[in-house]
Chains A and B, each alone.
Chain A
């Protein structure tokens, strides 16, 4: 772990005990986010990307268990901290923006009240100072007339505005890392573009790092510097964003990119991936993508491949890619 590194997740494993058996949501996941960087984790439903994000802040449901692994942040292993220590970190050094801005705000309190609450958990500010801080925050995320609007209720804000307010709340205690879980999924595309621009500015001007969780490859391409692709709880490829799109190494990444309809290209037929995502209660012991993979051979049934470096900046979890076969 270098000094550039802000947070390093190592060999994280998370499972849920359900009435139907053990659900292995996150398996042996490792990645590193640097300071001032936008890092993307992309995957479809059941990939484990959200659970990974929630594990960092340790806000998983009680049926979950973190098997083993470490999450190193500023020299401390977050998984070994006490509840009290974690609470000091949540909302301060690491904060989170959720997918649905509708339900993220309590409808009976004003925006100012709620952001103020987030601030006062971590700092003691006199009311006047706090109000000034809130106004400044709202202005910095592009909300017009913040002195007036901060006293409005959530239902008086549109979806895009709410997401900006959420970002303001996430910024309220000058975090080093913001985790954004599908932050634009429920927004219109023109508003999404505004939020992307907002995030870019935050990184540039405040030096904050953003961990972006999404299923949208376009969003990843727009915003991120490095990417990890997740499938069925495993990371199958990690690369810098340019390499990932120009030359995807893992068959899943390739298929994912090929299956997206494009505005900038003409496609007659979309490449579809046959079959479906494996049942998380029954993850196979061999390569988890093998049943759907066009390139599978006998070695693929030998066990789940490790995530290994194949060239500068790119790691793949695929036997054939590691051998240089593909």
Chain B
């Protein structure tokens, strides 16, 4: 049974004054997913940033005499069909996957928040139009939409960011609209109005901060999806054009020699899976950590 704040018959426990720091550490320790996720993501981030230094070879350097070589001391995962070092290409491929997903989700978040608060706060016809737009976009799975958009826009990094971003935008907008509707009900919004606050000031000071928690969690999880979509597009040959190394493309290239040289596709696939897992773990952990029930009022 839920009891309103004005019920006095239930026992209430007011928050003791405890430092926010201690609270955070305790929860992170109880939530290893955040740590593991962060660890994985930071690992990949380092790969991307420090690629020129940690990559053993230039990923574009061909060595036609050394095609499809077995893993050896010189080439830890062997070479591809034109003698390029697989490991180096995997390391450099991190850049495409990370940059695409992060930029696509960031844009989707920015515009999604804007659309979501507009729809939720102002309601009426604006809300109806935006919500229909969101519903229509959500009718197509994000991957199919990305394929269609790449078909229209053509290949390239920027186009991929737009294609993936547009697919994720309605999902974030919907979440923000929901939290806006909830935040709007609170009396501190009316109070702000009584101080002469205009609509947009209220939105930025009171509504958007209350949407940040769900957006952060959802965006983190969507980062995983974005990586998957990018890999899928690259696999289909719709992503960044060669010779830029991308994991999806490497999986595709390795398919031809799957029986004899299974490690080419497998390692690329593994990199994809681990990065996605990293984002999912972090997102899951964040969701529990940011749950409003923790550190709130106890009634019972």
Q: Does chain A touch chain B in the assembled complex, meaning CB atoms less than 8 Å apart?
A: yes
Interface residues of A (CB under 8 A from B): 16, 18, 20, 23, 25, 44-46, 48-51, 61, 63, 98-100, 103-104, 181-182, 185, 213-215, 279-281
User: Shortest distance in angstroms between A248's beta carbon and chain B's nearest beta carbon?
Assistant: 21
Which of B7, B9, B10, B298 is close to A18, meaning CB atoms less than 8 Å apart?
A: B298
Chain A interface, >50% SS class: loop
Cβ of A112 to closest chain B Cβ, rounded Å:
22
Q: Is the CB of B3 within 8 A of A45?
A: no
With an 8 Å Cβ cutoff, the count of chain B residues facing the other chain is 15
Residues of chain B from 1 to 56 with CB closer than 8 A to chain A in the complex: 1-4, 7-14, 16
Taking the nearest CB of chain B, how far is it from the CB of A97, in angstroms? 12
- Bound complex: CA of A81 vs CA of B9, how far in Å? 26
Contacts of A182 in B (CB 8 A): 7-9
Q: Residue-by-residue, is B209-229 near A (CB-CB < 8 Å gives 1, otherwise 0)?
A: 000000000000000000000
Contact A281–B300 (Cβ < 8 Å): no
Contact of A46 among B7, B12, B300 (CB under 8 A): B12
Name which residue of chain A comes closest to B10, CB basis: A50
| Residues of chain B with a CB closer than 8 A to A99's CB | 3, 7, 9
Chain B residues contacting A100 (CB-CB under 8 Å) are 1, 3-4, 7
Name the one of B9, B12, B300 contacting A49, with C-beta atoms under 8 angstroms.
Answer: B9
* Contacts A/B (CB < 8 Å), 22 sampled: A16-B11, A18-B298, A23-B11, A25-B11, A45-B11, A46-B12, A50-B9, A50-B10, A99-B9, A100-B3, A100-B7, A103-B2, A104-B1, A182-B9, A185-B7, A185-B8, A185-B9, A215-B9, A279-B14, A280-B13, A281-B13, A281-B16
Alpha-carbon separation in the docked complex, A104 to B7 (Å): 15
Contacts of B2 in A (CB 8 A): 103
- Extra inter-chain contacts (5) besides given A279-B14, A279-B16, A280-B13, CB under 8 Å: A23-B11, A51-B11, A104-B1, A182-B7, A185-B8
With contacts A48-B11, A50-B11, A280-B11 taken as known, whether A16 is within 8 angstroms of B1 at the C-beta atoms is: no
CB proximity of B256 to chain A, nearest CB, Å: 57
Residue of A nearest to B7 (CB): A99
Q: Is the CB of B14 within 8 A of A16?
A: no
Nearest Cβ on chain A to B92's Cβ, whole angstroms: 47
Main SS at interface, chain B: loop
B12: chain A residues at CB < 8 Å are 45-46
Q: Assuming A103-B1, A279-B16, A281-B16, is B9 touching A213 (CB within 8 A)?
A: yes
Partner pick for A20 among B1, B10, B16, CB 8 A cutoff: B16
CA–CA, A326 and B66, complex, Å: 103
Closest to A103 in B: B1
How many Å from the CB of B48 to the closest CB on chain A? 40
In the assembly, what is the distance between CA of A213 and CA of B3, in Å? Answer: 16
Closest B residue by C-beta to A182 = B9
Q: Are B7 and A61 in contact (CB under 8 A)?
A: no
Q: How far is the CA of A20 from the CA of B295 in the complex (A)?
A: 11
Tell me how far the C-beta of B18 lies from the nearest C-beta in chain A, rounded to whole angstroms. Answer: 8
User: Most chain-A CB neighbours within 10 Å: which of B12, B298, B300?
Assistant: B300
- Complex Cα gap A125–B93 (Å): 74
Give Cα A25 to B14, complex, Å.
14
Candidates B8, B16, B298, B300; contact of A215 at CB < 8 Å: B8
Which B residues are CB-close (under 8 A) to A50?
9-11
A18 and B13 contact, CB distance less than 8 A: yes
Q: What separation, in Å, do the CA atoms of A42 and B4 have in the docked complex? A: 20
Instruction: Using CB atoms, name the residue of chain A closest to B15.
Output: A20
Question: 3 closest Cβ contacts across the A-B interface?
Answer: A45-B8, A182-B9, A50-B9
Bound form: Cα–Cα A51–B1 in Å: 15
A280 to B16, alpha carbons, bound, how many Å?
11
Taken together as a complex, chains A and B put the C-alpha atoms of A281 and B15 apart, in Å, by 11
Which of chain B's residues have a CB closer than 8 A to the CB of A214? 9
Chain B positions within 8 Å of A25 at CB level: 11
Residue with the highest number of chain A CB atoms closer than 10 Å, among B3, B9, B13: B9
CB distance from B240 to the nearest CB of A (A): 49
**B9 in contact with A181 (CB, 8 Å):** yes
Chain B residues, CB < 8 A from A281: 13, 16
Name the residue on B nearest A64 (C-beta). B300
Q: How far is the CB of B95 from chain A (nearest CB, A)?
A: 43
C-alpha spacing A98/B300, complex, angstroms: 14
B14 CB contacts on chain A under 8 angstroms: 279
Q: Which residues of B lie under 8 Å from residue A98 when comparing CB positions?
A: 1
Among residues of B, the one whose C-beta sits closest to the C-beta of A23 is: B13
Supposing A98-B1, A104-B1, A279-B16 touch, asked if A16 and B7 sit within 8 A by C-beta, the answer is no
- Complexed CA–CA distance, A280 and B4 (Å): 20
Residues of B within 8 A of A51 (CB): 11
In the bound complex, CA of A51 to CA of B10 (Å): 8
Residues of B within 8 A of A279 (CB): 14, 16
A196 CA to B139 CA in the complex, in Å?
56
A141 to chain B: closest CB distance in Å? 22
| Most chain A beta-carbon contacts within 10 A, residue among B3, B8, B12, B14 | B8
